[in-house]
Amino acid sequence: MNVKNKPLYITINNITKLHTDWSTSLGHGKNYFYNMNKKKGLEYTVNKIIKDIENGAKPLNEKRGKNEKLLTVNGQTHNYSQWGKIIGCSSCYIGSLVNQKGEDKATEFIQKRLKKLEQPGFTKEMFSSQVPQGITVQGRTQTAYKWSKEIGCAPNYISTLIKQKGLNYVINYIDEILSNDKPYSDKNPKNIVSKRITINGVSQSRKKWADTIGCSEGRIKRIIKKDGIDGAIKFIEYALEHKNDNSYKLGRQITVNGETHNGTEWSLIIGRNKCYINQVIKLKGFDAAVKIIEENLNNKGDN
């Protein structure tokens, strides 16, 4: 059953109109201001109408007229659809900029994009954040998910990369990996956290690697964000090498001269910052940390 909206009359500058009249006269759908009133209240709606009037918003029928869609930028005159194809965006977006913020804002937006397109190697596809159904590289077309799987990264990695850097960048990125036969870990940017890490032919999630080497998943995530996937791989490889003597598992209880404390507590006892002993374990191993604690305790005893 269809439920009609109750009439909403809005008065501005002694002019009273139905919500549908205000909406269409300012270039919006007929229920635009009615829905805005429901969500944000009458005061916000009135201010929005006044702002549209001040910005010279045009009626919906004029907004859609072919004669109103021409825009001149840097000496070139095109309609919104043509400008959209040139700079890689929808004609609706340019039209909404003109209608809501004026031609100056739309012109400024187009000028910025034209300037970027003048840069070497930059194409309009790089503005796109939409993930296509198929991505073609070296004559082969696959989904973003399948490309992610083939180059050995997280299932949503290629989709994320398209949204961040554009389709053209991703195509070149995959092509370079396939051409040079480079592993995914050599190409992974620091700002994208991979969900799977491959070491010595074994591919596992961050959590499983954390359980394997005896640390938290959060620690591996922090290393990836700071040093990239390569830093995480080096960290895990070192931890695996010392897994038997447990020298890389931070938080382990350390017994020296009959006293047992964890790394943080020993750091404070010997007068260092609380991370000192854990850093020593990380860089030099467990035995080196024990030696440093013994030396500091002996020096305290001599004094």
* Together in a domain, 87 and 57: no
**Domain C-terminal end among 99, 126, 153:** 126
Q: Let me know if residue 229 belongs to a domain.
A: yes
* Together in a domain, 72 and 122: yes
pLDDT (0 to 100) of residue 282 = 73
* Together in a domain, 56 and 73: no
Residue predicted with more confidence, 180 or 229: 229
Count of domains in the chain?
5
pLDDT (0 to 100) of residue 189 = 44
Give CA–CA dist 157/171, Å, rounded: 13
Q: What is the mean pLDDT of residues 190-213?
A: 72
Considering only CA atoms, which of 7, 40, 46 is closest in space to residue 26? 46
Beta carbons of 33 and 5 less than 8 angstroms apart: no
Average pLDDT, the chain: 76
Q: pLDDT exceeding 90 applies to what percent of the chain?
A: 0
Beta carbons of 129 and 168 less than 8 angstroms apart: no
pLDDT (0 to 100) of residue 187 = 43
The structure's pTM equals: 0.29
Q: Let me know if residue 4 belongs to a domain.
A: no
User: pLDDT, tens digit, for every residue of 140-166?
Assistant: 888 888 888 777 777 788 887 776 667
* Together in a domain, 29 and 73: no
Give CA–CA dist 213/208, Å, rounded: 9
Q: Which long-range contacts (CB under 8 A, 24 or more apart) does 203-212 make?
A: 203/152, 209/236, 212/236, 212/240
Query: Domain range holding 214?
Result: 196-241
pLDDT (0 to 100) of residue 246 = 45
pLDDT (0 to 100) of residue 4 = 54
Nearest-10 crossing angle of helices 276-284, 286-302: 140
pLDDT (0 to 100) of residue 255 = 82
Q: Let me know if residue 270 belongs to a domain.
A: yes
Q: Let me know if residue 268 belongs to a domain.
A: yes
**Where do the H-state alpha helices sit in the chain?**
19-25, 32-40, 42-54, 60-63, 80-87, 91-101, 103-117, 144-150, 157-165, 167-180, 206-213, 217-241, 263-269, 276-284, 286-302
* Together in a domain, 169 and 150: yes
**Domain C-terminal end among 25, 41, 61:** 61
Give CA–CA dist 72/293, Å, rounded: 74
pLDDT (0 to 100) of residue 133 = 72
Q: What is the mean pLDDT of residues 91-98?
A: 80
CA 215, 221, 223: angle at the middle one, nearest 5? Answer: 85
Query: Using 50, 70 and 90 to split pLDDT, how confident is the model at 129?
Result: low
Query: Using 50, 70 and 90 to split pLDDT, how confident is the model at 66?
Result: very low
Query: Using 50, 70 and 90 to split pLDDT, how confident is the model at 245?
Result: low
Q: What is the mean pLDDT of residues 276-302?
A: 81
* Together in a domain, 69 and 57: no
Q: Let me know if residue 69 belongs to a domain.
A: yes
* Together in a domain, 263 and 289: yes
Q: What is the mean pLDDT of residues 103-128?
A: 79
Q: What is the mean pLDDT of residues 51-76?
A: 70
Statement: residue 185 has pLDDT above 60: no
Statement: residue 247 has pLDDT above 50: no
Q: Let me know if residue 114 belongs to a domain.
A: yes
pLDDT (0 to 100) of residue 88 = 76
Q: Let me know if residue 247 belongs to a domain.
A: no
pLDDT (0 to 100) of residue 303 = 59
Helix (H, G, I), strand (E, B) or coil at 201: coil
Dihedral, CA of residue 50, residue 55, residue 59 and residue 64, to nearest 10: -150
Q: Let me know if residue 246 belongs to a domain.
A: no
